[in-house]
Chains A and B, each alone.
Chain A
Amino acid sequence: MSMRTLPLVFINLGGEMLYILDQRLQALNTSEDNSEKGVWSENDRKRVMNGIVGAMFSKDFMDELLKPQQLYSHRTLKTVLTRIAHASIMRLNPASMDRLYELMVMAFKYQIFLCPRPKDLLLITYNHIDTIRELVKDTPVVVNQVDETHRKIIEVYSSLPEGEFQLLRQTLLIFFQDMHIRVSLFLKILVQNPNGRFALSTSGPVPHGIDVPGLIRTFDGKGREVRRSEFPSGGSYSSSVREGCFELHGDRVIRLGMDMYTVNHPEETHTSKDTFVQTDNTPNLLAKEELNLLARLMGSMKAEKEPKAETGFWINLFPTDQEEEEAGASGLAEEPLFEVINIQAMQDEQVTTELARIAGQFAEEEPPGNLSSSKGDDLLAMMDDL
C-alpha cells in the first residue's frame, strides 16, 4: 500500500529502542568510571546513544529510507534495527534483541492505534525526534544529523493530505496486526488490557478539527438551517484541544511518542511469555526484493570502526567477567566487509542465514552460555523489568 512508511517506521521504532536502552543502561549505572567491568557508566551510555543515533540519522541511510518503497517483513526490519544497535559499542544477543523488538513494536502499535488523526503520526514522530535530540545533546555533530533529518521529514511529509496519512496508518496497522504481546508497563498504566488489546476510550477531547458527536442539522433547499436536534453520543466527549506544532521545534501537544519509561520507576514488570509468531505470507520470491532493500540499507549505514584495542561490550543473558574476557579475546572483528547480494530464489532457511550474516549478528564464536551473574541483573531480566 503506502510507499512512504519506512522513514517513519525507523524513526519511531528506533526512538522506542533508544528509550528502552537508555532506561536500562541508566539502571545499570552504578559507577561513574569504566573501571568496573560489566558496569555501564554514564559515559558508556552516552557513547551507545551517540553511536545508534548517528547510524540511524546518517544522511545516506535516511536517503535510502526516503525512496518510495514497500514495507517488507518483520524479519528485515529486525535485522536492520539490530545492525543499527550494533553500530554502537554495545552488542545484544539474539534473545535480548527479540525481546527488545517486541517491546518497541508494541509501543509503536499503541501509538499508531491511538493516534487521534492520521496526520498526528507526524507529531508522534516529532516527539520521538525531540527526545532523541535531548539524548545526544552533548554531541553537536549528531544533533546536526538529527536536525537535518527532521527538516527532510518536514519537507517530505508536511504537505501530504490526510487521506495519504490514513493509508500510511492503515499500512502500519496491517503490519502490526495480531500482535498482542502484553507489556507490564502498559498493563500497569492501563493502556493495555489483560487480553493484550489497547484501551480505546469513548471520552475525552475529540481530535483537532472534529466536532463533538451529538448534533443533527437539517437544511432547506436554499441551504438555510431549519432544524437542530441532538442525539446521545454514548460517550462523554469534550471539544478538542489546540493543535500541536509541526515545525522543527514546538509543543506537540499530544503525548504519544514521548518516553513512557522515564515516568515510571523500574518496578518488577514483565512481558508475556507468548512470543509473536507471524505466519509469514510473503512468498519466497519477495525475498529477493527484501534482500536488495536490506543490502541498500546496510550499505548506507556508517560502519563504526572500533580500534582493536578496545573491547566490545557484549550484552547477553548473563554477563560475567569470564564472558567479557572471552568476548574481548575473540576480538571484536572489524565490521564485515559489505557487499551487494544478488540472489535469484531463496529458500526460507537460506534467507534467514543470509540476513543473519549481513547483520553481522553472529560472531564466529557464539557468546558463552548462561551462567549465573554476580554483578548485576541480566539483560533479559532487565527487559522483563520494563
Chain B
Amino acid sequence: MYHKEKSIQIKNSASALYNNLGVLRIAPRSLTYFTVVHANVVNMVSASWDGLNYSHRQLQSKEPNVATSTSLIMQAAFCALPSRDLLVVTSQKGIQMYESDGSTMVYWHALDTPDTPTDQAVFARGISAVGKSYICVGDSSGSILVFDVPSKGSNITLSDVLKGHKKSITDIASECSGSQDCIADLISADDGGNLCVWKSGEEFQRFNNIPGFDISCTSVKLWKGTAVAGYGTGQIRLYEAVTGILHAEVNAHARWIYSLDIAPFSGLLLSAAEDSLVRVWHLSIKPESLSVEVAHLHNECVTDTQICGAKFCDGDGHAFAVTGYDLSEIIRYTQS
C-alpha cells in the first residue's frame, strides 16, 4: 500500500519526545517544511516536491536578548490559521513563535519558573491553532495558554488561560478551523490520560471531560467530532468528543504511542510507537448509527528504532513521514 521513498537527512538526530515531527505543506510554492527537535535545537528542512532542493535551518530555544541561555525544547509544531502560518516552539523556558519559514521570531512568552527548583519540572508542551486566530499552548501545570494572533505582525497577546487539567499537558489538537461550524473544536490531553473538549471563541467553553486511567495520553486528534487518543498502554481509543461515549478501542502497539495523525479528507489514521512500528488505519463514520469503524490497512517497521514522530504530508494521506530517536533522517513513505 505504501512504499519507502528517499529519506531526508537532517543535521541532528531526533530526540525522544512525543509528536516530534512538524509538517507544513506550502502548495503555492511546491514545498513542504519539516521540523524535528533535537535537545535544544529545532532542525527545519524545506523540501521541494520534485525532490531536488533541500534547504536546512536550525533554531535554538533561547530568550531574546540573552546571548547564552538555552533550554531543552519539548515540541515544535506549525500552526495554520486562516490568515497566516506560524511555527511555535515550546521549551523549559517558554514559548517562541516564528514565521513559518523560521526566519523571524515574532513572539516570546516566558514561563513562570520558581526561584528554587522544585521536583516538578517546568515546561510548555502541546501546541495547536484553533478558530480564526487563536494558538493554544499547554504547560506542565496543566494550564492551557490561549494566544490571540493578528493577521499580520507581532502584536500577539495572551488572551486567556484555560484550567481543565491537573496533570502536565501532553498534546492539543483542533478541527474546523476558519469558518466551519462545530460544537467543539479543540481537544487537550494530559499525563493522567484525561481529555478536555473545548469550543473556542472570545470566551473558551469547556464542553466535556473524558477521564483517563492514570496512563498518559501522549497524542490526540479531533476529526468529525471524534476524539482519537493514543496512550502509554499502546492503545488507541476513539470517543465521541462532546458526550465522551467510547466508540472503539484498539490494542494497537506493544509500547508507548508517541504520535498520531489524521488525514482529514480521507479519514486515514497514522499511529507510531516506541515498538518501532507505524500503522495506517481507516476511520469511517456510519451516519445511520453515528458510530465509528476502525479498519487496519498497513504496517511499517522501522527496524531497531523507537519512533517519536509520524505525520501525513498531505490532507489525503497520500504520503507520510516518520522520525525516530537517535535517527538523523526523516523517513518518507508514499502510496503505491
Known: A174-B39, A281-B39, A281-B41. A210 touches B69 (CB 8 A): no
Among residues 233 to 286 in chain A, which have CB atoms less than 8 Å away from a CB atom of chain B?
A: 233-235, 237, 281-286
Shortest CB-to-CB span from B263 to chain A, Å, is 19
Bits for B150-175, please: 1 = Cβ < 8 Å to A, else 0: 00000000000000000110100000
- Kindly report which residue of chain A lies nearest to residue B40, judged by CB atoms: A281
Shortest CB-to-CB span from A4 to chain B, Å, is 6
Known: A1-B72, A69-B117, A210-B254. A177 touches B39 (CB 8 A): yes
Assess the A173–B250 pair: CB atoms within 8 A.
Answer: no
Bits for B250-293, please: 1 = Cβ < 8 Å to A, else 0: 11111110000000000000000001110100000000011111
**A177 CB contacts on chain B under 8 angstroms:** 13, 15, 38-39, 325-326
Is A213 in the interface zone, CB < 8 Å from B?
Answer: yes
**A284 CB contacts on chain B under 8 angstroms:** 68
Shortest CB-to-CB span from B141 to chain A, Å, is 13
The residue that A210 contacts in the complex, of B38, B68, B255, B291, with Cβ under 8 A, is B255
Assess the B299–A234 pair: CB atoms within 8 A.
Answer: yes
Shortest CB-to-CB span from A231 to chain B, Å, is 3
**B251 CB contacts on chain A under 8 angstroms:** 211-216
Is A221 in the interface zone, CB < 8 Å from B?
Answer: yes
Assess the A161–B214 pair: CB atoms within 8 A.
Answer: yes
With an 8 Å Cβ cutoff, the count of chain A residues facing the other chain is 60
Is A311 in the interface zone, CB < 8 Å from B?
Answer: no
Shortest CB-to-CB span from A304 to chain B, Å, is 31
Is B52 in the interface zone, CB < 8 Å from A?
Answer: no
Assess the B214–A218 pair: CB atoms within 8 A.
Answer: no
Bits for A329-358, please: 1 = Cβ < 8 Å to B, else 0: 000000000000000000000000000000
Interface size class on chain B is: 35 or more
**How far apart sit A198 and B327, CA to CA, in the bound complex (Å)?**
12
**How far apart sit A232 and B252, CA to CA, in the bound complex (Å)?**
10
Known: A174-B15, A206-B254. A221 touches B245 (CB 8 A): yes
Assess the B254–A220 pair: CB atoms within 8 A.
Answer: no
Assess the B247–A68 pair: CB atoms within 8 A.
Answer: no
Bits for B67-88, please: 1 = Cβ < 8 Å to A, else 0: 1111010100000000000000
Is B317 in the interface zone, CB < 8 Å from A?
Answer: no
**How far apart sit A68 and B235, CA to CA, in the bound complex (Å)?**
33
Is B5 in the interface zone, CB < 8 Å from A?
Answer: no
Assess the B234–A211 pair: CB atoms within 8 A.
Answer: yes
**How far apart sit A193 and B325, CA to CA, in the bound complex (Å)?**
16
- Kindly report which residue of chain B lies nearest to residue A156, judged by CB atoms: B119
- 8 pairs of A and B residues whose beta carbons are closest in the complex: A163-B191, A231-B296, A283-B68, A68-B119, A234-B299, A173-B16, A211-B251, A163-B216
Q: Which residues of A contact B (CB under 8 A)?
A: 1-4, 67-70, 113, 116, 118, 161-164, 166-167, 169-171, 173-174, 177-178, 180, 193, 197-200, 202, 206-207, 209-221, 223, 226, 231-235, 237, 281-286
